Amino acid sequence: MPLHIETPFVRSQFHSRRLQKNVWLKMEAMQPTGSFKLRGVGAVCESQLASGAQRLVSSSGGNAGIAVAYCGRELGVPVVVVVPESTSQRARDLIRLEGAEMIVHGATWAEANDMAQSLNGPQCAFVHPFDDPVLWRGHATMVDEIAVTGPKPDAVILAVGGGGLLCGVVEGLWRNDWSDVPIIAVETEGADCYARSVAQGRPVELSAISSIATSLGAKRPCDKALEWTAKHVIRNVVVPDALAVAAALQFLDEHRVVVEPACGAALAALHLDHPTIASASDIAVIVCGGVTASVDQLRALATSIG
């Protein structure tokens, strides 16, 4: 049995009535670890242990680290997760709750990742939070589930950080013969390395992450995410932090589920006048989740950014 669960794919009456079209929610926030990360991370962990690994090492801003820690506990192997100083106390507590050793290092994920790589040794396996073909195949299972239940969407909306979710969803679309379904890839201002990279036709590394959506805080997207732009229709959208937080709070009010601002970014796209959304009849939104968020945190952010 996989470590992840099959999540609901449900029609949002609230968004559907507002837009006068069908808006479907893939509820990855319902995963045991609170985010989609468990799909790909679980696939990587099981693959590495089958190859003889006896210890798992990872770097994370939050959700991936929680997923690796969960997998280690479920599979009975020790886990070390290195997080940057920007990782919230809630995320740190959740990683420790799963029994993993946690190290705080560096101001950004990139610095934490360098340290995690240095800890990798014999009988260890490094679990990258977004750049691994096995990880992408794991994330693609959410599209397999959508293909079974239907309907086929006319567009998929998702949030982009390093590009792991994007690569998995595109792979899932292609392996289900849905390569004609466009993707709206949403980032927040100050964490928009993918949109900038696509615009310049090459990987762009941000000098710093200024967005409060720390789960989107990769300073550079993975190469595969850029390669897909040559084969698949991907529309980049960048939204302000305030709109992402407002969308997350609205989702809480309407659907009684807490998601973090990174997920709110994807939901925020539903409030934009975007031609791909306007022309679609059925829209799928990946509600990627984010267990590190809380109601109090979202309300405080909304107050602080206006």
HEC letters along 71-99: HHHHHCCCEEEEECCCCCHHHHHHHHHCC
Number of domains, the chain: 2
4 belongs to a structural domain: no
Whether the Cβ atoms of residue 54 and residue 77 lie closer than 8 Å to each other? yes
The domain spanning residue 147 has which CATH number?
A: 3.40.50.1100
Q: What is the mean pLDDT of residues 99-115?
A: 91
Q: Identify residue 11 by its one-letter amino acid code.
A: R
pLDDT of residue 215: 81
Q: CA separation (Å) from 8 to 11, 69, 264, 275, 279?
A: 10, 24, 18, 27, 25
Q: DSSP letter string over 107-133?
A: SSHHHHHHHHHHH--TTEEEE-SS--H
pLDDT of residue 134: 98
DSSP state of 280: -
Buried b (16+ CB within 10 A) or exposed e, 111-139: ebbebbeebeeeeebbbbbbbbebbbbbb
Whether pLDDT at 217 is above 80: no
Whether pLDDT at 241 is above 80: yes
Instruction: State what percent of residues in the chain have pLDDT above 90.
Output: 86
- Based on the fold, state whether residues 143 and 261 are members of the same structural domain: yes
- Based on the fold, state whether residues 147 and 273 are members of the same structural domain: yes
What average pLDDT does the structure give for the chain? 95
Can you tell me which residue has the tokens 């195949």? 137
249 belongs to a structural domain: yes
Whether pLDDT at 62 is above 90: no
- Based on the fold, state whether residues 216 and 231 are members of the same structural domain: yes
Whether pLDDT at 71 is above 90: yes
pLDDT of residue 182: 98
- Based on the fold, state whether residues 241 and 290 are members of the same structural domain: yes
Instruction: State what percent of residues in the chain have pLDDT above 70.
Output: 100
Boundary-marking domain end, from 102, 132, 162:
132
2 belongs to a structural domain: no
Tokens for 170, please give them: 């595109």
State the DSSP H helix or E strand holding residue 40, giving kind and residue range, or none if neither.
helix 37-50
Whether pLDDT at 306 is above 80: no
- Based on the fold, state whether residues 19 and 55 are members of the same structural domain: no
Boundary-marking domain end, from 132, 149, 167:
132
- Based on the fold, state whether residues 285 and 141 are members of the same structural domain: yes
Boundary-marking domain end, from 78, 104, 132:
132
135-180 per-position pLDDT tens digit:
999 999 999 999 999 899 999 999 999 999 999 999 999 999 999 9
- Based on the fold, state whether residues 231 and 139 are members of the same structural domain: yes
Tokens for 153, please give them: 């969407």
pLDDT of residue 216: 80
104 belongs to a structural domain: yes
Domain carrying residue 101? 37-132
Whether the Cβ atoms of residue 97 and residue 66 lie closer than 8 Å to each other? no
- Based on the fold, state whether residues 224 and 146 are members of the same structural domain: yes
- Based on the fold, state whether residues 199 and 288 are members of the same structural domain: yes
- Based on the fold, state whether residues 103 and 167 are members of the same structural domain: no
Q: Poorest-confidence range of 67-71, 96-100, 110-114, 269-273?
A: 110-114
- Based on the fold, state whether residues 109 and 197 are members of the same structural domain: no
Q: What is the mean pLDDT of residues 82-94?
A: 90
